[in-house]
């Protein structure tokens, strides 16, 4: 392989001749050969937005020469268009605060800007990654801001639409199934009747509430500590930098980011991120309940609940012919498990802040964006390949409801709790329905019995 020589504050480094990154990136490549995991494009894009905005703000202040600013801006726009992505090569487990990743971006932009100006990669006297590309910035503020930009965008563009789609489909099913009477279950034991539509309406409402929570929590990400540089004081920023850089970021993203009320709090804490992950934790809990309920309700088909049938999407066994499993619900459970693990890692990293900075930003960035990604993809797949095709087994639902001894509850106001309990016990022992037992014992006249044991009426609450 052919190499070129670049220099940083520690000395000379050999760089592959065609690489757009430079000395500090190469050192990080050598130092952090850990997982092979890389930052997603959403994060790279956020970094490029920040660098572009900074170049514009520095040019407006007269501190960055126009031709250098234009070259850096053009290079950043190439990255935003999806070019040069193979140049972001660093492992997510790297130097604290993301200094290596920040320099990876700075060096790529500097070297591409050199080319755009007619020079060779590595000519740091023309375009310097620190002095020019990183002007008015620090890793400490730009990396933090990139997390907010990337996460907010992914939530708005991917996660919230996915939740909304699932909520709408569950609501549609609740309407479709509203006439179907089934037995309720508490403690996994027979309970009084409920309509299948009512059961699904709970799932729909859970998703509507989660959509509201995530959307509201995400608003806290709109506060960004751009221009705080190293510790929040804004040392080495140019005139009107805060206002100009925020303006450019908002024009690039279409969102309304703003400076925090307290720059130092924004530097030291990741409370905004934790507010978002807290809302997603509630979402995950609801998603897992829905997936697990579907697995129970569809269990069988001959020896389980079999109250609903999930769409068959693939063979379920390599040895048992004809077996079909609830694979989409199983997938969804695993998505939820993994998302919860990511949440735990984010929480631990957020707790690790010390004094003026939390240096655990790389893992917060990667895990937060990963959590949003897998939840969005998992929800979309579950909605399309499972929820949309659910069919209710109305006859089975009705039979279970009629045979449940729990409907003796409806007789309690007339015959008393203890007498109703005796009937429920006897019905189980003799394998009779409550209706059959009451008729046989002539405990109530037919008209009263019909009214009390009207299953639909039992699901409609107080008259």
Q: Which residues pair with 308 in a beta bridge?
A: 392
Q: Closest Cα partner for 150 from 221, 72, 211, 95?
A: 221
Indicate the SS3 state at residue 54: helix
Q: Torsions phi, psi of 23, nearest 5?
A: -65, -45
| CA distances from residue 411 to 279, 415, 424, 452, 459 in whole angstroms, order as listed | 43, 6, 10, 6, 15
CB atoms within 10 A of CB 341: 12
How far is residue 29's CA from residue 345's CA, in Å, rounded to a whole number?
Answer: 24
Q: Is 36 left (phi over 0), alpha (psi -120 to 50) or beta?
A: left
Q: How many angstroms separate the CA atoms of 287 and 294, rounded? A: 11
Cβ(23)–Cβ(121) under 8 Å? no
What are the residues facing 3 on neighbouring strands?
A: 16
The partner residues of 186 in beta bridges, in order of sequence, read: 189
Residue 368 structure tokens: 């937060």
**Does 301 sit behind a cis peptide bond, omega within 30 degrees of 0 on the bond before it?**
yes
Report residue 117 as tokens.
């100006």
Residues in contact with 289: Cβ distance below 8 Å, sequence separation at least 6, in sequence order: 206
Helices 327-350 and 271-297 pack at an angle, to 10 degrees, of 160
Q: Could you write out the DSSP letters of every residue in 381-416?
A: HHHHHTGGG-EE-HHHHHHHHHH-GGGGGGGHHHH-
Q: What is the DSSP letter of 223?
A: B
317 flagged as catalytic? yes
State the DSSP H helix or E strand holding residue 14, giving kind and residue range, or none if neither: strand 11-16
Q: To which H or E segment does residue 194 belong?
A: strand 189-195
Catalytic residue among 138, 204, 252, 317: 317
Q: What are phi and psi of 301, to 5 degrees?
A: -80, -10
**363: Cβ contacts below 8 Å, ≥ 6 apart:** 92, 93, 345, 346, 349
Q: Which residues are the active-site residues?
A: 317
């Amino acid at each position: 392989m052919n190499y070129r020589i670049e220099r940083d504050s520690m000395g000379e480094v050999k760089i592959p001749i065609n690489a757009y990154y430079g000395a500090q990136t190469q050192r990080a490549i050598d130092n952090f050969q850990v997982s092979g995991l890389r930052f997603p494009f959403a994060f790279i894009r956020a970094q490029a937005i920040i660098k572009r905005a900074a170049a514009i703000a520095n040019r407006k202040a007269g501190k960055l020469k126009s031709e250098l600013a234009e070259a850096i801006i053009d290079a950043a726009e190439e990255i935003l268009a999806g070019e040069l992505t193979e140049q972001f090569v660093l492992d997510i487990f790297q130097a604290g605060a993301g200094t290596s990743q920040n320099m990876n971006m700075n060096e790529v932009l500097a070297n591409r800007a050199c080319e755009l100006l007619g020079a060779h990669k590595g000519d740091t006297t023309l375009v310097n990654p620190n002095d020019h590309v990183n002007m008015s910035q620090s890793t400490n503020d730009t990396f933090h801001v990139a997390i907010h930009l990337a996460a907010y965008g992914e939530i708005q563009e991917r996660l919230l639409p996915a939740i909304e789609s699932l909520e709408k489909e569950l609501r549609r099913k609740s309407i479709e199934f509203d006439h179907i009477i089934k037995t309720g279950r508490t403690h996994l034991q027979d309970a009084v009747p409920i309509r299948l539509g009512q059961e699904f309406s709970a799932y729909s409402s859970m998703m509507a509430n989660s959509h509201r929570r995530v959307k509201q929590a995400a608003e806290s990400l709109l506060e960004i500590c751009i221009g705080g540089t190293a510790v929040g004081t804004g040392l080495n920023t140019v005139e009107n930098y805060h206002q100009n850089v925020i303006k450019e970021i908002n024009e690039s993203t279409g969102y309304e980011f703003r400076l925090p009320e307290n720059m130092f709090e924004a530097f030291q804490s990741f409370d905004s991120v934790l507010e978002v992950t807290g809302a997603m934790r509630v979402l995950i809990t609801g998603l897992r309940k829905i997936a697990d309920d579907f697995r129970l309700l569809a269990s069988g088909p001959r020896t389980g609940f079999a109250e609903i049938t999930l769409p068959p999407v693939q063979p379920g066994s390599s040895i048992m012919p004809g077996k079909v499993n609830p694979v989409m619900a199983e997938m969804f459970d695993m998505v939820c498990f993994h998302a919860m693990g990511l949440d735990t890692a984010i929480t631990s990293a957020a707790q690790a802040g010390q004094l003026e900075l939390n240096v655990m930003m790389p893992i917060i960035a990667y895990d937060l964006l990963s959590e949003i990604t897998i939840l969005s993809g998992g929800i979309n797949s579950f909605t399309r390949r499972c929820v949309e095709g659910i069919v209710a087994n109305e006859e089975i639902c009705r039979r279970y409801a009629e045979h449940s001894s729990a409907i003796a509850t409806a007789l309690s106001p007339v015959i008393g709790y203890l007498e109703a309990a005796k009937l429920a016990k006897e019905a189980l022992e003799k394998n009779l329905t409550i209706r059959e037992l009451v008729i046989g014992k002539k405990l109530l006249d037919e008209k009263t019995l019909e009214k009390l044991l009207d299953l639909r009426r039992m699901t409609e609450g107080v008259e």
